[in-house]
Structures are given as structure tokens and as C-alpha cells.
Amino acid sequence: MQQNLNLYNTLTRKKEVFEPLHAPFVGMYVCGPTVYGEAHLGHARAYVTFDVLYRYLKYLKYKVRYVRNITDVGHLVNDADEGEDKIAKIAKIQHLEPMEVVQHFTNRFHEDMALLNILPPDIEPRASGHILEQIEMIQEILANGFAYEVNGSVYFDVPAYNKDHNYGKLSGRIIEDLLSNTRETEGQHEKRSPLDFALWKNASPEHIMRWPSPWGNGFPGWHLECSAMSRKYLGQTFDIHGGGLDLMFPHHECEIAQSQASNSKSDEAKYWVHNNMITINGQKMGKSLGNFITLSELFSGNKELLEQAYTPMTVRFFILQAHYRSTLDFSNEALQAARKGYTKLMNGLRVLEKMQYPEEGITPDEKLNEELLKLTEDCFRGLNDDMNTARTIASLFNLLKKINSLYLGQLQISHLTRGTFDTIRETYNTLVLDILGLKEEKLGDQAEMLELILSFYKEAKEAKAYDKVDAIRADLKKQGIVIKDLKTGIDWAYEE
């Protein structure tokens, strides 16, 4: 089996074989949400993407430390330097403490993530809890000559940095181009260059969120928290830094600059991984465009754009059916199709559970075994090729066809070796449940009751009491269960 994981590295613009810096340990940092609003479909895509990577790395037996932050300070509403703090703004409107806003949306975020079966990170640091580390990093950058203080604020000196370093190496920007295209924004009078960004901002009297620092009372710049916290928990250089494509510039570019300019002197991460955006009617979904769909709207169907509610697993499957570096277009049709595909995959789990390897009469068919084993390998091939979950799912469907054929007796289980049979079952279960992170959404402990109903159904069927048969079918259908009359007996499946 091809067991080399290849990842596309934004920093080198190539797919590279993943090799940890200090195997078997892997450090992964993903930019978390700014908790000033409900999580939306775009958040789901980012965190599902890195959840699969996290799960897969663990499956590959790496000891992973996954850090995903909560941004609760420093993220400003407008142009990087003069805007209002996003959280403070909501707090003011709702007459709440900023930390109440933070706590509320952090809780909501966790709820949504749990519904999507996204594993919690190993460490979830908050920016406001790491002011000291951020101040320390600023002091290093100042001491190294890549920052300057003005009126209680500290700015990163991009031109000075760019003399010996390459500001723009991640996003492919050229500093001259950036300079010629910079917009005039307020507050630039303090900055020597429009490209400079804030490391520390002096807090105006009405600014509520403030901390003491060597430069007076203020608050840290947005880009700094990720550099400071990733260094604290993962070291100066770690393996994977992830986030949405929209964070590549300026956020991640600034992170690299900060880490290079501090005593870390590194690009932070060896592999920079970016997921693409969700679009709606071909246009990017985003806060600034106001066309985003929150997860709770999606789960409740409570929005004009939505024809119906979609379950968390439908959403997860929808996301996984595209490659993470492609844009993914939202539509009701696509979600509905995802629902059916997801259900089909779930029914496969149940079929596998029911199948048993026969005790005797084994007559292995070499060609068939080979064919089926190849199908199981294909499933991993997609994953290893830059986490192509779309290909993995396609391969799983190919495998599922064979599983269903075996179940129906169109293919004979006795023609498989024990090893092939076990490999099929293990591959399917592991990929669907553990790595893709899909799970059954219905039933649970009602399975026994269902068995009872099915036994009544069988009796009625044998007595040719078709009225009763149809009635049972109709009732179960209301519960999203369809009855299957097989030659070998009676079974059920989720309605697709």
C-alpha cells in the first residue's frame, strides 16, 4: 500500500511527501475563529478539512499535538489599525462584557463543531490569555530592529525586514507591487510604511479590552497571537500550519515575518496548508459580503436560501466530496445529493456488520481477491495524494458496490480469503468512521424495537396480509426507514 502522505505546501507551491521534523511527533496549528458571531459553512469547511488531516495523521500512528486558537482580542473591524475591536463592538451593542461575548460564541462554536463530529484540538489557547508571550515576542522583534514604537503603539517595519528577508514569500507578493497598490487608510500617519502592521496598539480611553505593556496600556495586533501561541506550544518550527486561503495574506504572511524577525528566526511551519473557499452561486461566501450561511441555519433550514434543513453529517459529506483546495459551490441540489450519498455510505456500514465469513466451503478466487484488494488500496491512494477525500469517497463507493453484491449473493463470500474479507471490512469501517469522521445520525438504541417491528412484518408477509405489510412499510417510511425484502430475509436501510 502506498503509505506516503503527500501534502501541497503553499510555501513551495508543490506537493511534498510529508515528513515530520521530529517523528513520531507532529505539531499542527490551525487558525481558529474570531468569536464574535455564529460559525458558518466556511468555518465548517476549514475545520472539517483539518479534522480529517488530524484524524489521518493519528491513524498513521503519529503522535499529533493539534493546536487551534480562539481569537478573542485584537481582531479589528476595519482597516488593520484604526478599526474597532470586533468583539468589543458586539459587547457594546449588547451591553455585555467582552468576555461574555467571547464565551457565548466559543460555546456555540464548540457545539457546532461537535455536531459536525470534528474532534477537539489538543490545545485551544486564547489570545487574551497569552498577552505576556505576545509582549515578549514584540520585545524580541524590537531588539532585532524590525519594529518601532510610536505613541504607545508598536509597528512591524516591513521595508526593514524585507532587506534581508522576503516579505511575500508565502503569498507570492512583491513588495513593490504592494506598495504601489496600497489604499489610503486612516491612522497611517503613525506608520512609516503603509505595509507596516501593528504588533501592539495603544488603547484609546474608550477601548475596554486593554492590558499593561512596556509601551503603555493597549492590546496586541491580530497577527501576533498565532506566532506567539504556536511557538509556545509547538516550538519555533513545527510541522503543519493550516487555515483558510483567505488568511494567506496578510495574516500568514505576517506570521512568517514575525517569526523570522523574532528570535525564532523561522518560517514557523514546514508545511503551510490552505483550504479553499465555499462559494454561493459562484461567489465567495464571506462575512464582508454578508452572503454567508451559518451552521445553525443550515441545521434548522431556517433561511430563505435553504429549501430544507440539512443534517450535520450531510454537510460534512458535502464538504468531503470536494478536494479541499478547490472552491466548493453551495446549492440545495448539491446538499440533497450529498444527503443521498451519505446515506448510501451509512447503509454500507450496516451491510458489512451483517455479513459473516463462512466457516467452510472456502474456494478462493484469486482474480476476485486481487480486484477487491486493489479497491481497498485505491481508497487510501486518494487520501495520500494531498488528502483527496473526493477520490477516497469515489473509491469507497466502488468498494461498496462489491460489498452489496457480496451481501446479495451476487458475489460469493466463500470466494474470498479470510484476509481479503477482513481487509474490506476494516478499510471501509476505518475510512468512513475514523478518518472521514462520518457517523450514523439516526436510530441509536431503537435498533431492538426495529427488529421487533420487522418480525411482525415478516409474519404478515408470510400470511400474505398485504394491507398490514403496506401499513408497516408506510409507518417506517415516515421514520426514514425503508424495508428491504431480500431473498435471504428481511432487512432495512435508511431512506436515501
Contact set for RNA, span 366-405 (CB under 7 A)? 382, 385, 388, 390-391, 393-394, 397-398, 400-401, 404-405
Nearest residue (CB) to RNA, 13 versus 61: 13
216 φψ region: left (φ > 0), alpha (ψ -120 to 50), beta (else): left
How much is the CA Rg of the chain, to the nearest whole Å? 27
Residue 226 binds RNA, judged by CB under 7 A: no
Shortest distance (Å) from residue 397 CB to RNA:
4
Residue 10 binds RNA, judged by CB under 7 A: no
Residue 473 binds RNA, judged by CB under 7 A: yes
**CB under 7 A: which stretch of 92-100, 122-130, 171-179, 256-264 binds RNA?**
171-179
Shortest distance (Å) from residue 338 CB to RNA:
7
> What distances in angstroms separate CA 241 from CA 130, 198, 244, one per listed residue?
19, 22, 11
Residue 222 binds RNA, judged by CB under 7 A: yes
Nearest residue (CB) to RNA, 144 versus 398: 398
How far apart (Å, rounded) are the C-alpha atoms in residues 226 and 229?
A: 5
State the maximum Cα–Cα separation within the chain, in Å, rounded to a whole number: 90
Shortest distance (Å) from residue 228 CB to RNA:
16
Burial degree of 296 (CB within 10 A; 0-12, 13-18, 19+): middle
Query: How far does Cα 220 stand from its chain's mean position?
Result: 27
Q: Which of 31, 90, 131, 142 binds RNA (CB under 7 A)?
A: 31
Q: Which of 277, 295, 352, 424 binds RNA (CB under 7 A)?
A: 277
Nearest residue (CB) to RNA, 97 versus 177: 177
Nearest residue (CB) to RNA, 240 versus 338: 338
Q: Which residues in 408-437 contact RNA (CB under 7 A)? A: 408, 410
- Map residues 308-347 to x or -, x wherever contact with RNA holds by CB under 7 A: -------------xxx--xxxx-x-xx-xxx-xx--x--x
- Map residues 43-72 to x or -, x wherever contact with RNA holds by CB under 7 A: x-xx--------------------------
How far apart (Å, rounded) are the C-alpha atoms in residues 125 and 67?
A: 8
Q: Which residues in 173-202 contact RNA (CB under 7 A)? A: 177-178, 181-183
Residue 14 grid cell? 508543490
| Dihedral of the alpha carbons of 103, 107, 109, 111, in degrees to the nearest 10 | 180
How far apart (Å, rounded) are the C-alpha atoms in residues 96 and 53?
A: 37
Report the SS3 class of residue 71.
strand
Give the up-direction half-sphere exposure of residue 42: CA atoms within 13 A in the CB hemisphere: 27
Bond prior to 250 in cis (omega within 30° of 0):
yes
Shortest distance (Å) from residue 143 CB to RNA:
25
Residue 125 binds RNA, judged by CB under 7 A: no
Shortest distance (Å) from residue 25 CB to RNA:
25
Residue 327 grid cell? 472552491
Nearest residue (CB) to RNA, 139 versus 291: 291
